[in-house]
Homo-oligomer: A and B are copies of this chain.
Amino acid sequence: MSIIPPESNHHSVILGKDQPMPLDCGAMLSDISVSYNTYGTLNEAKTNAILICHAMTGDQYAASKQPTTGKEGWWTSMIGPGKVLDTDKYFLVCSNVLGGCMGTTGPKDIDPKTGESYGLKFPMITIADMVRTQALLQDYLEIPDWFSVVGGSMGGMQVLQWASAYSERCFSAIPIATAAKHSAQNIAFHEVGRQAVMADPDWQGGNYYNSDRVPRAGLAVARMAAHVTYLSETALHRKFGRNLQDRDNLTYGFDADFQVESYLRYQGINFVDRFDANSYLYITRAMDYFDLASDHGGSLPKAFEGSKTRFCLVSFSSDWLFPTSQSKEVVRALNAAAANVSFVNIETDKGHDAFLLDTPEMLQTMGGFLESTAKIRGIA
């Protein structure tokens, strides 16, 4: 059980007790611990539930204090009374993904077969497996269908997978800054991160849980490499440029002379306190494997055939990790599948990170979509 911050509704549940859950890799997983936060109240008709899917290194603390860092949730701009994801109107559920390290079963947990942490014996998981786990949670919560499934980046991959695999169980879907498959460039950056972790001798082949060493340095490098991809060149230039950090002149050394170096080092060091290195490996791999078309004979429209889900896609003009073209590819497929779809590409220089920031046009777009969809659904 994770530490429960007093102001949140944090829960943990064991799912798949009677019936093990099949994974894409062929393995079966039973007794899956799922940790999740809820915000707001489920209405009597059970029509107002929204599932929030978190991104790669996110967690279920979307709008609550993160217990390790003590920081506010990652989507407080979006969630709260009167906000876009209005806690006076909707019942919000956000669960830690399968393979994660914040309470849902992942590589750091005890393998019941051996009595020791899984490490690399944890079965490989996919985005579809994450979604299967969320579907078990939906069953457990006795929610017949989500009013909406919402998420950005890897969260958006889950949204697309939901709408494809369980269309009848999601009334609407909001995939943000995402893609229907991971690109070669994105796989490349993930591989750099994984190799950085695995190059760290403290990683110990993944069996570091019972040692006093964890691969801090390797994971920090992985995080630094990833973090550069979350920002646009323009944003980095605007934020840091070539400004020096607490000094007037270059030091002609390897200290962090530039603010951008200092910022990245901070990002790397802080990350390792809240994230498990093996979870990082598994979750990046799940994203690499994501390819919705290939699961449907190479046809992306087929992935959405007959879908009744209402879609609202959002992309950001300066996002080079999940560029607008990839959202457009999904929109074209949804059009070909005659799905109900709206799409907005937001002009911003904030890069991929824009989905986590207070981006007014994103909030307006989502707010408008949810309001009109709630009317159709009859949510007061």
List chain A positions with a Cβ less than 8 A from chain B: 24-26, 120, 123-124, 181-185, 187-189, 191-192, 194-196, 198-201, 217-218, 220-221, 224-225, 228, 231, 233, 236-237, 239-242, 250, 252-254, 256-258, 260-261, 264-265, 268, 281, 285, 288-289, 291, 294, 320, 323
Contact = CB atoms under 8 A, between A and B. Distances in A.
Count this chain's copies in the assembly. Answer: 2
Given A120-B254, A252-B124, A241 B195 contact: no
Given A188-B228, A191-B256, A196-B221, 17 more contacts: A123-B252, A183-B233, A183-B236, A184-B239, A184-B260, A185-B231, A185-B233, A187-B242, A191-B258, A191-B265, A195-B217, A195-B268, A198-B254, A199-B200, A233-B320, A254-B281, A257-B288
A201 B182 CA distance: 33
A237 B184 contact: yes
B236 A184 contact: yes
Given A217-B199, A224-B195, A320-B320, A188 B260 contact: yes
A291 B264 CA distance: 21
Nearest to A253: B124
Contact of A250 (B189, B236, B281, B289): B289
Given A123-B252, A201-B201, A254-B285, A265 B195 contact: yes
Q: Which secondary structure dominates chain A's binding surface?
A: helix
